[in-house]
Chains A and B, each alone.
Chain A
């Protein structure tokens, strides 16, 4: 019975996983990113628009990613260059994305899904589902085993260390935020390619859920994506709805778990030391 839930779990976890990877990059570089929701939404929007205009889902993916990039650029310029309040900027970007996509809502014309790969024993899934575990490992190595990752993390941990290496913190933070926009947008593209439509506010809080997964996974790619799978499983249980558990309880479980972990009741969650702090 559990095995029946695996396909749904994967489908639910993948968009979260991409957005969570994005969240990890941004937050590891020291910039709070509540804008994941908006970046996912604009990514989904870009995918549908791009695919409708060009007829190719690859172009759609590219357009979605570049829209996510642009929104991340907005977040980066506002928070890093202008020192705007990161939390408020993130929420404003979500409002902006919701507004723009509602204003320019695409025609309700069905778009194709991303290419699917057929694998023996596993079945046929969008290639992004297979890409996610690969990216998880690659990003873990990049962040924790290379000098590049060390510098990016230093931007979020201690400004002095970066200054000692005569590196500019802003540059690494820009990199982190821009990467987060692209990753989150891919998550949005996946969402749109699975349902073949764009609907108003279709991300429905998934960006915030991804952020919860980042915290739950202690700001690390492997544990973060495992958290996404756990949250995806909760959603799959909810959709299967075969037991006498109120669906709303399953629905709110990820949020409650995140609060428990953040408070330190279970395990230990330690955010990057300079997260959200800007030197004046």
Chain B
């Protein structure tokens, strides 16, 4: 009798756990997404266009062929890195709004090495990526240090560092390293050896024109590493403890100042890799202003992925899909892609509101 009761209560616990998981964890993002697509449909109906056509174009544009889906994953690649970068900082209670600047300095460092060192690929590619990691880390550690040492808010400082990075990149690319005899603000091309191979050359099922490259696999690897780091290592534990219970962390002998600096550096390092995807994987040079707000989209990606590396992977693919679809919609239905950008804004606001609301209830 008692066993039956216990079993019943256990079962109830289990179902309520699953229910909780769905209500609190997957619920808001899924609701937000369906709301977004519904809203798009309504706007189209108001403009006198067919929402059904819109939905079918989304599907065709993203999934009709491997080539199309390759573009989706290609768009997702930098967003995986920036999403992870935001999440790493967020887990320790810090905001890294400076991913945009960090990915630029990372990209430039990689391009500089790729232009100046003529080495075999197995040396040059790690060197390029290492320099990007280092540059991103340094750029981000500065706000971290200012926060740890002087208590200056990292949000403001990362934003300021963004603008400094934009100015510095613009200076370097127009005054010092501009490609000779060209008007475009870009550097010369990097050596062949530094270029990451396209996945099409490894898997012939993709057409050779598809830009999806090795950096996508690096991004997936980075997500797995982040998961292991955050969940199973001592440093990951310190980081999470600082985010969840700063007082306990200090009491437990963790030096918050040191953690703040290295967390920001780590976050910047990952953001720096987002720049590598463009320089080593696609354009093979540094172009001024190449990123279309990937650093800021990373905030949305991290939020939608609930700061979980695998969630971020999925969220980044979703945003990659939206970017790809936005282009086709713009051409086929003459709807400006601003609609998707606006939708992204609404999505973020909705997510933080539900998060804040549930925190308030608790």
Q: Which 8 A-B pairs have the closest CB atoms?
A: A96-B345, A102-B338, A99-B342, A99-B341, A103-B338, A83-B356, A92-B348, A84-B352
Is B150 a contact partner of A264 (Cβ separation < 8 A)? yes
Quick check: is B337 within 8 A (CB to CB) of the other chain? yes
Contact A258 B160 (CB under 8 A): yes
A202 CB to nearest chain B CB (Å): 14
Q: Does B349 contact A96, Cβ atoms closer than 8 Å? A: yes
Q: Known A96-B346, A252-B163, A280-B360; judge A84-B353 contact (CB<8 A).
A: yes
Nearest Cβ on chain A to B279's Cβ, whole angstroms: 20
Which residues of the other chain, B, contact A255 by a CB distance below 8 angstroms?
160-161, 163-164
Nearest neighbor of A205 in chain B, beta-carbon distance: B163
B157 CB–A CB distance under 8 Å: yes
- Say yes or no: B160 contacts A99, CB within 8 Å: no
Size class of A's contact patch?
A: 35 or more
Contact A262 B156 (CB under 8 A): yes
Least CB separation from A85: chain B residue:
B352
Residues of B within 8 A of A96 (CB): 341-342, 344-346, 349
Cβ of B175 within 8 Å of any chain A Cβ, yes or no, is yes
Contact status B146-A259, CB under 8 Å: yes
B352 CB contacts on chain A under 8 angstroms: 78, 82, 84-85, 88-89, 92
B155–A92 CB distance below 8 A: no
Contact surface of A with B, Cβ cutoff 8 Å:
32, 34, 74, 78-79, 82-85, 87-89, 91-105, 205, 208-209, 211-212, 215, 246, 248-249, 251-252, 255-256, 258-259, 262-264, 271, 280
Residues from chain A with a CB closer than 8 A to the CB of B341 are: 95-96, 98-99, 102-103
Partner of A78, one of B296, B300, B337, B349: B349
**CA gap between A74 and B353 in the complex, in Å:** 11
B161 to chain A: which residues have CB within 8 Å?
A: 255, 259
Residue of A at shortest CB range from B346?
A: A96
Beta-carbon contact of B339 and A91 below 8 Å = no
- Contact A259:B349 (CB < 8 A) given known A99-B338, A212-B160, A280-B360: no
Taken together as a complex, chains A and B put the C-alpha atoms of A87 and B355 apart, in Å, by: 14
Which one, B159, B170, B338, B359, contacts A208 given CB within 8 A?
B159
Beta-carbon contact of B349 and A100 below 8 Å:
no
Q: Are A99 and B345 in contact (CB under 8 A)?
A: yes
Q: Does B333 contact A (CB under 8 A)?
A: no
| Residue numbers in B under 8 Å from A252 (CB-CB) | 163-164, 167-168
Complex Cα distance A205/B166, Å? 11
Q: Which residues of A contact B153 (CB under 8 A)?
A: 262, 271
Alpha-carbon separation in the docked complex, A280 to B360 (Å): 6
Q: Within 8 Å CB of A95, what residues of B?
A: 293, 296, 300, 341-342, 344-345, 348
Q: How far is the CA of A51 from the CA of B267 in the complex (A)?
A: 45
